[in-house]
Amino acid sequence: AQTMIDEYLVSARGKWGLRPSLVLLLPHAHEGQGPDHASARPERFLQLAADINIRIANCTTAAQFFHLLRRQAALLTVDPLPHVVLTPKSLLRHNLVASSPRELAEGRFQRVIADAEAAPRPADIRRVLVCSGKVYVDLVSSEHRKTRKDVAICRLEQLYPVPSQQLKAMLDEYSNAEEITWVQEEPENMGAWDFIRPHLIEASGDRAVRRVARPRSASPAEGSAVRHATNQQILVDKAFGAVPGSGSQTARKAKQDATLTSAKG
């Protein structure tokens, strides 16, 4: 598959004068099911992204996915491009990603999504988390979310082409935020971090930009569901600036669920 992607998708215009519009739905998320289940290798697609040759997205709601496909269809005769969509399996029936009929009928695809449920005023935000995909659900459903209203959780739904203007405008709303943090489930040497870092630095102005990710690894994910649950909770704790392991209740439940899953398997 890699040869077909390299030769006939990402370089089709430059090498062959072709205009492919194939949509690839690739399972991707850290869900405790092991390395082969976890990664669609987004870092490799982002490495191939240049000259507006492809679109890459990681949606967090049903409406976003619906409008993304509508946009792809609408652009078939105007600006056809291959589209890589990262699709977490655990979000297929998740309540937090469900959308209303009105959102499907009247909405449109949003490249970035600001946090509408944090502090009432953007000026009260002190920390901005920027993420993409399923890790957003882990962040908003954590115990820290209830107490840290000074933390905004923003979503980058389209990874490429990078929506630089929209990203900067969103971050500018949080003028009192002292730092911008990119949060990803993947190890530091994988995922979108290396690609998105310069864009975040440019959009953040003089504010510090840091990342929260799993340590660098040769494997995309843990081979143990219990270790996955522990490491995922540590990652969420770090994102909120909390002591790793402080979300103990959530961590215990995640471990119990993971243990039950392993036992059933």
Q: What pLDDT, on a 0 to 100 scale, did the predictor assign at position 264?
A: 47
In tens, the pLDDT along 152-188 reads 999 999 999 999 999 999 999 999 999 999 999 999 9
Contact 181, 128 (CB under 8 A): yes
Q: What is the pLDDT of residues 197-213, one digit of tens each?
A: 999 999 999 999 999 99
What is the CATH number for 236?
3.40.50.11610
Q: Write down the number of H helices and E strands in the chain.
A: 11, 9
Of the chain, the end-to-end C-alpha distance in Å amounts to 30
Q: What is the pLDDT of residue 265?
A: 47
- 117 pLDDT tier (thresholds 50, 70, 90): confident
Q: What pTM was computed for the model? A: 0.89
Q: What is the pLDDT of residue 261?
A: 44
More confident residue, 15 or 160: 160
pLDDT (mean) for 30-53: 90
Query: pLDDT above 90 covers what percent of the chain?
Result: 71
| Nearest Cα to Cα of residue 42 among 148, 182, 142, 184 | 184
With beta carbons less than 8 A apart as the criterion, state whether 82 and 52 touch. Answer: no
Is the pLDDT assigned to residue 65 strictly greater than 70?
A: yes
Q: Could you give the CA distance from residue 29 to residue 31 in angstroms, rounded to a whole number?
A: 6
pLDDT, position 258: 46
pLDDT at 1: 78
Q: What is the pLDDT, as a whole number, of residue 66?
A: 97
Residue 247 — very low, low, confident or very high, per pLDDT cuts 50/70/90?
low
Query: Mean pLDDT across the stretch 53-59?
Result: 97
Of the CA atoms within 13 Å of residue 241, those in its CB half-sphere come to: 15
What's the token pair of residue 247? Answer: 């979300």
pLDDT category, 122, cuts 50, 70, 90? confident
Q: Please tell me the predicted confidence (pLDDT) of residue 246.
A: 63
Contact indicator for 90, 136 with CB cutoff of 8 Å: no
At how many degrees (to 10) do helices 164-173 and 193-204 cross? 60
Mean pLDDT of the chain: 90
Note down the domain range covering 59.
2-264
Q: Distance between CA 240 and CA 236 in Å, rounded?
A: 7
Query: Of residues 29 and 63, which shows the higher confidence score?
Result: 63
| pLDDT value, residue 253 | 52
Residue range 70-80: mean pLDDT, rounded: 94
Could you give the number of structural domains in the chain?
A: 1
Rounded to whole angstroms, how far apart are CA atoms 54 and 66? 19
**pLDDT tier at 127, thresholds 50, 70, 90:** very high
